[in-house]
Amino acid sequence: MAEINLKGISRRWGDFVGVDDLTLHIPDREFLVLLGPSGCGKSTTMRMIAGLEEVTEGEIWLGDKMVNRLEPKDRDISMVFQSYGLYPNMTVYENIRFPLRIRKVPKDQHHERVMKAAEMVELTGFLDRRPAALSGGQRQRVALARAIVREPNAFLMDEPLSNLDAKLRVSTRAQIANLHHTLKTTTIYVTHDQVEAMTLADRVVVMNKGVAQQVAPPMEIYDRPANTFVASFIGAPAMNLIEGEIAGGTFTSPVLRVEGLPHPVSGPVTLGFRAEDVEVVSEGGNLSAPVYSVEKLGDSTMFAIRAKEDMIALKAGKAADMEIGETVHARIPPGACHVFGPDGQRVEAPGL
């Protein structure tokens, strides 16, 4: 087991900055998720930790050892990739066993360790098969077992569920969570899928353009996004963001007025609120606009309404029944609102 420290690491290719001055402390046994859109620097960060990408500036520490110049094989880290990377001519048993052979682990330990890893990912009935005879989910479990069998200091997982269909993603995600609970090994997990981040992580690093925007537990990121980028990236649907002015605790815009905000700032701001915090009312409220689209989700109903140039998402009960073009009246409670300054950064209310 090992803690991991990234001290001001950067990766540049000429004038292009892939990762910019990233500092992170990842405690032993933590499950850390690097989350962000394509090109944000999350995979580059992982590849630098693994030794697959050169560090332009900064230091990477695994435990008490600075590993910038160590080869990947000497870092005692197991990686699981989006592509399974299995050997097609080997059985499942031999694919799982392969890291032990490469690392010259005594042969009398191989069978016990392979069987233990296979049992953890429920593959004991498939050990004689070759990868071509397996489903995508089973192949990913072979890749997981091959990482487990090494008993490394840390796991690095780079979008391991991207090639799986929706049902398999859910079951494999649960398996990864259970494995982490069992093995208690430091894990860094890269994804663009916020559901994976929210359900798996102890902490999430939200990245954009090579810079960490916020580092916090999942629910803190959801409840208190640090800036408008995080607010717009986390949540399904994303947080509604309306530009306007605030004065004396009252926000006004061409489409919305919210009174009683506990924020002392004045001037131009962006007001944020989530779809589930909007109250659909029969009349009155502080927002009225025609329905643009309706989505029946079974347990709830999602409405999109268009208010001038703003598209606003509302979440109502499953019995809510409105037609496109019909006017919706809604109330946004002041306590559910988030305020962001002209620089896009969160403005905290006093006492928070």
Question: Residues 274, 277, 282, CA angle at the centre, nearest 5°?
Answer: 125
Is the pLDDT assigned to residue 351 strictly greater than 70?
no
Tokens of 221: 């990121």
Report the C-alpha gap between 39 and 206 in whole angstroms: 13
Q: Note the helical H segments in the chain.
A: 42-50, 92-102, 110-120, 136-148, 166-183, 194-200, 218-223, 228-233
Contacts of 35 (CB under 8 A, 6+ apart): 42, 191, 192, 194, 197, 204, 205, 206, 207, 233
SS (H, E, C) 299-312: CEEEEEEEECCEEE
Predicted local confidence at residue 236, as pLDDT: 86
The whole-chain average pLDDT of the chain stands at 92
Query: Quick one: pLDDT band at residue 169, thresholds 50, 70, 90?
Result: confident
Tens digits of residue pLDDT in 243-270? 999 999 999 999 999 999 988 889 999 9
Whether 282 has a pLDDT exceeding 90, the answer reads no
Mean pLDDT of 220-230: 97
Tell me how far apart the alpha carbons of residues 115 and 103 are, in angstroms, rounded to a whole number: 18
Higher pLDDT, 307 or 62: 62
| Whether residue 284 has pLDDT greater than 80 | no
Stretch 300-323: mean pLDDT, rounded? 89
Query: pLDDT digits over 175-204, tens only?
Result: 999 999 999 999 999 999 999 999 999 999
Please choose, from the candidates 82, 81, 108, 111, the residue with its C-alpha nearest in 3D space to the C-alpha of residue 96. 111
What pTM did the predictor assign?
A: 0.91
What CATH class does 229-347 carry?
Answer: mainly beta
Q: CA Rg, the chain, in Å?
A: 24
* Domain spans, the chain: 4-226, 229-347
Note the pLDDT of residue 125: 92
What pLDDT does residue 343 have? 96
Q: 4-226: what fold?
A: Rossmann fold (3.40.50)
